[in-house]
Amino acid sequence: QQSHTIQPQGRDPLAGRRRSAEYFGTGHGLARIPRIKSPPHRGRGAIVAMARGGRKPHVTTPEKKIYKKINKKERSLAVASATAATANPKLVAERGHIVDGVLHIPLVVTKTIEDISTTAEFMEAAKRLGLMGDIMRVRGTVKTVGGKASWRGRRLKHRVGPLIIYGEDKGIAKAGRNVLGVDLVSAADVSVIHLAPGGVPGRLTVWDRRAVELLEERLKGKIRMVSLNV
């Protein structure tokens, strides 16, 4: 599913080919490559890959199929497996999350969490639930990235923190969107990318009770089946 976030890349098919050069033919004691006809660069090679300003030999093409398809039942089973992993304290701890102060795993809260509308209220709720240790861990992992990524707005990198899954957004998505490392997603949109970032299961997750009901309805009992097999 991570392939769905990749943008196709390609090069201009005419890049390096916009020249008036042509092949002179044999019998001139010259290599068989197109050459520029007019001064001041008459006789210089062009267009071919080995020539200055010529085309690239092996370019990426926008026609490349990077979107990998997956069966619907297989995707649902993957979401169910990743969901079951969030209820395993051992997997959550092995993933690197700070779980010492967390009240319970899996952490299921009442619907009142949906009504949070400010960042201050969100941080207070995170403190009561025991999530501040993991949030502070994420703050300590921020580092600057060099190279082209820093030119393009991807200057900072950090670890992944807690995941909040809600049933209905009554302001919580806006309240917690600016907290570093915390992701907020509805039960209708949650996927393996959220539950197991990088393909590693066991993310520290806070479930809204309504979100659990919606996800069970969406996956049609697959969560219970996977939980019995874990």
pLDDT digits (tens, 9 = 90+) for 190-213: 999 999 998 999 999 999 888 988
- The whole-angstrom separation of Cα 116 and Cα 172 is 5
Whether the per-residue pLDDT at 123 is higher than 80: the answer is yes
pLDDT given at position 38: 87
pTM, two decimals, is 0.78
Cα dihedral: 191, 198, 86, 157 (round 10): -100
Whether the per-residue pLDDT at 225 is higher than 50: the answer is no
- The whole-angstrom separation of Cα 19 and Cα 201 is 54
The pair of three-digit structure tokens given for residue 64, joined into one six-digit string: 């490349």
Whether the per-residue pLDDT at 178 is higher than 60: the answer is yes
Whole-number mean pLDDT of the chain?
A: 89
Whether the per-residue pLDDT at 223 is higher than 80: the answer is no
- Kind plus residue range of the DSSP H or E element containing 151: helix 148-151
Q: Which CATH class is domain 72-229?
A: alpha beta
- The whole-angstrom separation of Cα 113 and Cα 175 is 11
pLDDT digits (tens, 9 = 90+) for 19-70: 889 998 899 888 999 999 888 988 899 999 999 999 999 998 888 888 889 8
Domain ranges of the chain: 1-69, 72-229
